[in-house]
Amino acid sequence: KAGVTQTPRYLIKTRGQQVTLSCSPISGHRSVSWYQQTPGQGLQFLFEYFSETQRNKGNFPGRFSGRQFSNSRSEMNVSTLELGDSALYLCASTTGQDYTEAFFGQGTRLTVV
Amino acid sequence: AQSVAQPEDQVNVAEGNPLTVKCTYSVSGNPYLFWYVQYPNRGLQFLLKYITGDNLVKGSYGFEAEFNKSQTSFHLKKPSALVSDSALYFCAVRVPRGAGSYQLTFGKGTKLSVIP
């Protein structure tokens, strides 16, 4: 069965722009979580979506937002990009019941210049 | 707060030797613990998990981990290291956030280098 698909794999954006990242979870999984990975801060939780609703949110500014569609695909949006938003963004797919197995996508490498 | 710590930023081991990557946890209640591996410019690959039961957990690619409640540790081990095991390893703990929601809280990661 297909794994977690994230698109695009790489992005280069300019400060002040906005960006949208996409994540398609494993078939049958209803929860998508997003994480930011940077060399300085490591892996940090952004938010979780389950059945089209944000169920949980990490400590990030409101410039970071997301949504989930009825087919469980999720998008993450970052507005007014800052240099510090440069990171690898990972999404994790789970059934949504108990988070005992989270499968990650390959990530989207965002570079803000 | 529920957290994990990886005390070593880097571990070097000779090919064929046993390897250990350390993780300690601070959790209230029963911990759900995980190990993931990351290769350069790739996502996280699930290696193994401890939920309950046997303290020795076997996972992918010949890795295993030992859960030790008295020492609050969950060290990753492999009897014989391969050069291809060289990667970044993350320990993680499942943290409940209410309303049926959870998140993973990760350690800082340990870079494993296996020397031929």
Question: Which of B10, B47, B104 is the mutation pick for testing A, counting most A CBs within 10 A?
Answer: B104
**pLDDT of amino acid A60:** 97
Task: Decide: B20 and B35 in contact? Cβ < 8 Å.
Answer: no
Token pair of B92 as six digits: 């993680």
**pLDDT of amino acid A49:** 94
**pLDDT of amino acid A61:** 97
Nearest Cα residue in chain A from B91: A43
Distance of residue B86 Cα from the nearest chain A Cα, in angstroms: 18
Q: In the predicted model, what is the mean pLDDT of residues A77-99?
A: 92
- pLDDT level of residue A1 (50, 70, 90 thresholds): low
Distance of residue B112 Cα from the nearest chain A Cα, in angstroms: 16
Q: In the predicted model, what is the mean pLDDT of residues B78-103?
A: 93
Select from A64, A89, A88 the least CA-distant residue to A77: A64
Q: How many CB atoms lie within 10 A of CB B79?
A: 11
Question: Which positions in chain A touch B101 (Cβ < 8 Å)?
Answer: 48, 50, 55-56
Count of residues making up chain A: 113
**pLDDT of amino acid A95:** 83
Please answer yes or no on whether B102 and A99 come within 8 Å at the CB atom. Answer: yes
d(CA B11, CA B13): 7
Q: Which member of A43, A99, A106 has the closest CB to residue B106? A: A43
d(CA B44, CA B39): 8
Task: Decide: B94 and B32 in contact? Cβ < 8 Å.
Answer: yes
Please answer yes or no on whether A103 and B46 come within 8 Å at the CB atom. Answer: yes
- Quote the mean pLDDT of chain B: 94
**pLDDT of amino acid B101:** 84
Q: Is the peptide bond before A8 cis (omega within 30 degrees of 0)?
A: yes
Chain A to chain B Cβ contacts (< 8 Å) = 68
Q: Looking at chain B from residue 13 to 42, which residues have their Cβ under 8 Å from any Cβ of chain A?
A: 32, 34, 36, 41-42
3-state secondary structure of B100: coil
Cα torsion angle, A57, A61, A62, A68, sign:
negative
Token pair of A99 as six digits: 């988070």
**pLDDT of amino acid B30:** 86
Q: In the predicted model, what is the mean pLDDT of residues A89-96?
A: 91
Select from B106, B44, B28 the least CA-distant residue to A107: B44
**pLDDT of amino acid A2:** 73
Please calculate the CA angle A97-B95-B68 and round it to the nearest 5 degrees.
Answer: 110
